């Protein structure tokens, strides 16, 4: 069966701002309350899609933003009255909550869900479990709408299965595909699933934990995902994050490792007992593991986090055995990081032969690089034909999105702008037109209320 991977990128929403809401995400914290540019953020993301689609000839999809501001969150937390009154009360009493209800963090679709392809699942269907994201309020509010959105796009029950979200408890804290990788000979071959967690909720083996920042993904959540997606023990490897890496700003595994087909690009300090984890991968894989391990003497954890080298996308090139590293432009600006990349692509021991540097500064300043922006979905041709067709990022759609963006998005956003009731109307107007462009119908709560 022919299988191919589609990267579904999150489209940056019109309320993109820097609020510094994510503890442990150093870029987010360091740029808190500074000026953002929603128009530039969205255009940078759209141009990324254009490069993957038109520049590389790969299939590119997109996921629309969530409704923001999420006024129902303010109501749920006791801020009542007119829209203007809600915004003003929240700004005066709890500005962090107001920032959360405006957060455009759904753009990072690597956190939207964990996905298992049909070739690996016992029932031969693609499995989705939307992440509960319970570690942070501004992300947790995404969970239910992400589930409904994925059900809308991947609706055919013959090809797709959607599971309930894991319980929103500290025991089953789930951050989605940012902590999940699949390794295989080629995309169409059976794969081994690498689940990475930061802590055991019951700490059965008394594993060390980070001292500065909270570990987000639990072992219990990762185990539950493997069960729900019908993966056997022979198909799975569970690895614990190095707590020193978490304390250095590695809040998700995709900040310190990236996998594609048989290649694993990883920092040597990514996991606890890393040698044992790699040995298990080699034992279970159906093809030789092509390991590209960056030693600490070549790149510190701090350099890895500041450059987001490992948050690059690793893409198989069409009709070729070669791969391309799609890296943030910050990697080219740091000498030691660029030296590492040059060494990787010049080596004959791995298939990574090209690098392309991309300007994603608006996303990067909030702590998300190329890999954060995409959810990988491996599908058969029949499954691809069964999903919603109007979310493929071809040139025609990308050009239309560019015009839509320039029509609706502001070029500057400051924290005080969140008080502006006009921003609410601007955002809803943009999303209303977007659903028409993507032919998704009335998916947002404000659309349903306005049509009643």
336 and 303 in contact (C-beta within 8 Å)? yes
Number of H helices, E strands in the chain: 18, 15
Which phi-psi region, left, alpha or beta, contains residue 20 (left: φ > 0; alpha: ψ -120 to 50)? left
Task: Please tell me whether the peptide bond between 69 and the residue prior to it is cis, using omega within 30 degrees of 0.
Answer: yes
Q: Checking phi first, is residue 199 left (phi over 0); if not, alpha (psi -120 to 50) or beta? A: beta
Question: Residue 252 catalytic?
Answer: yes
User: What span, in angstroms and rounded, lies between the C-alpha atoms of 154 and 130?
Assistant: 13
pLDDT per residue of the chain (452 residues) written in tens, 0 to 9: 688 999 999 999 999 998 766 666 666 677 666 789 999 999 999 999 999 999 999 999 999 999 999 999 999 999 999 999 999 999 999 999 999 999 999 999 999 999 999 999 999 999 999 999 999 999 999 999 999 999 999 999 999 999 999 999 999 999 999 999 999 999 999 999 999 999 999 876 678 889 999 999 999 999 999 999 999 999 999 999 999 999 999 999 999 999 999 999 999 999 999 999 999 999 999 899 999 999 999 999 999 999 999 999 999 999 899 999 999 999 999 999 999 999 999 999 999 999 999 999 999 888 899 999 999 999 999 999 999 999 998 899 999 999 999 999 999 999 899 999 999 999 999 999 999 999 999 999 999 865 44
Q: Say if CB 38 and CB 90 are below 8 A apart.
A: no
CB 168 within 8 A of CB 135: no
Instruction: Decide if 140 is catalytic.
Output: no
Domain chopping of the chain, boundaries = 3-68+103-451
Residue with tokens 């319980």: 167
Residue among 101, 331, 340, 372 flagged as catalytic: 372
Q: Check if 175 is active-site.
A: yes
Cα angle, residue 337 at apex, residues 18 and 196 outer, rounded to 5°: 65
What are the distances in angstroms from CA 66 to CA 25, 63, 148, 212?
Answer: 21, 9, 11, 31
Residues ≥6 apart with Cβ < 8 Å to 348: none
Do residues 419 and 90 lie in contact, with contact meaning Cβ atoms separated by under 8 Å?
Answer: no
Write down the catalytic residue from 175, 261, 303, 330.
175
Place of tokens 């004959």: 348
CA 13 to chain centre: 15
pLDDT at 149: 97
Among the listed residues 109, 240, 236, 124, the one whose alpha carbon sits nearest the alpha carbon of residue 175:
109
CATH architecture of structural domain 3-68+103-451? 5-stranded Propeller (3.75)
Residue from 73, 172, 174 nearest 133 by CA: 174
How far from the centroid of its chain's Cα atoms is residue 8's Cα? 9
| 424-430 contact pairs (CB < 8 A, 24+) | 424/69, 424/71, 424/83, 424/87, 426/14, 427/13, 427/14, 427/15, 427/67, 427/68, 427/69, 428/67, 430/14, 430/404
- Cα-based distances in Å from 447 to 64, 137, 255, 326, 432: 15, 24, 36, 37, 7
β-strands 126-130, 160-163 pairing: parallel
The residue from 193, 229, 252, 408 that is catalytic is 252
What CA–CA distance (Å, rounded) separates 309 from 319? 26
* 52 touches 5 (CB < 8 A): no
pLDDT at 367: 85
- The DSSP H or E segment spanning 305 is helix 301-307
């Amino acid at each position: 069966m022919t299988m191919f991977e589609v990267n579904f990128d999150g489209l940056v929403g019109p309320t993109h701002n820097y609020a510094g809401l994510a503890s442990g995400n150093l870029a987010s914290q360091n740029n808190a309350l500074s000026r953002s540019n929603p128009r530039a953020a969205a255009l940078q993301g759209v141009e990324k899609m254009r490069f993957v689609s038109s520049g590389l000839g790969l299939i590119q999809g997109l996921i629309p933003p969530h409704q923001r501001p999420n006024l129902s969150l303010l109501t749920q937390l006791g801020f009542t009255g007119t829209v203007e009154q809600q915004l003003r009360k929240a700004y005066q009493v709890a500005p962090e909550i107001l920032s959360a209800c405006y957060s455009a963090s759904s753009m990072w679709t690597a956190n939207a869900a964990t996905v298992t392809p049909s070739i690996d699942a016992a029932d031969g269907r693609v499995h989705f479990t939307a992440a509960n994201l319970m570690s942070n309020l501004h992300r947790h509010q995404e969970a239910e709408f992400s589930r409904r959105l994925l059900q809308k796009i991947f609706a055919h029950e013959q090809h797709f299965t959607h599971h309930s979200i894991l319980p929103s408890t500290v025991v089953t804290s789930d951050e989605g595909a940012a902590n999940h990788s699949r390794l295989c000979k080629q995309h169409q071959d059976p794969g081994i699933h690498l689940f990475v967690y930061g802590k055991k909720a019951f700490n059965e083996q008394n594993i060390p934990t980070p001292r500065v920042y909270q570990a987000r993904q639990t072992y219990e959540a990762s185990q539950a995902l493997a069960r729900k997606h019908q993966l056997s023990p022979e198909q799975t490897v569970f690895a614990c994050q190095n707590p020193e890496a978490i304390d250095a700003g590695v809040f998700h595994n995709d900040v310190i490792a990236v996998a594609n087909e048989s290649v694993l690009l990883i920092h040597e300090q990514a996991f606890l007992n890393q040698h044992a984890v790699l040995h298990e991968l080699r034992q279970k894989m159906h093809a030789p593991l092509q390991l590209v391990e960056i030693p600490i003497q070549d790149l510190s954890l701090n350099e890895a986090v500041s450059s987001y080298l490992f948050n690059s996308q690793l893409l198989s090139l069409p009709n070729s055995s070669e791969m391309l590293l799609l890296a943030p432009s910050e990697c080219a600006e740091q000498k030691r990081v660029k030296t590492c990349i040059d060494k990787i692509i010049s080596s004959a021991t791995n298939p990574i032969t090209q690098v392309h540097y991309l300007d994603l500064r608006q996303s990067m300043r909030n702590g998300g690089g190329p890999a954060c922006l995409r959810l990988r979905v491996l599908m058969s041709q029949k499954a691809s034909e069964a999903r919603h067709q109007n979310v493929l990022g071809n040139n025609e759609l990308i050009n239309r999105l560019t015009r839509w963006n320039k029509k609706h998005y502001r070029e500057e956003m400051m924290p005080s702008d969140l008080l502006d009731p006009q921003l609410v109307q601007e955002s809803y107007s943009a999303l209303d037109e977007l659903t028409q462009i993507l032919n998704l119908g009335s998916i947002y709560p404000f659309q349903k209320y306005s049509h009643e």
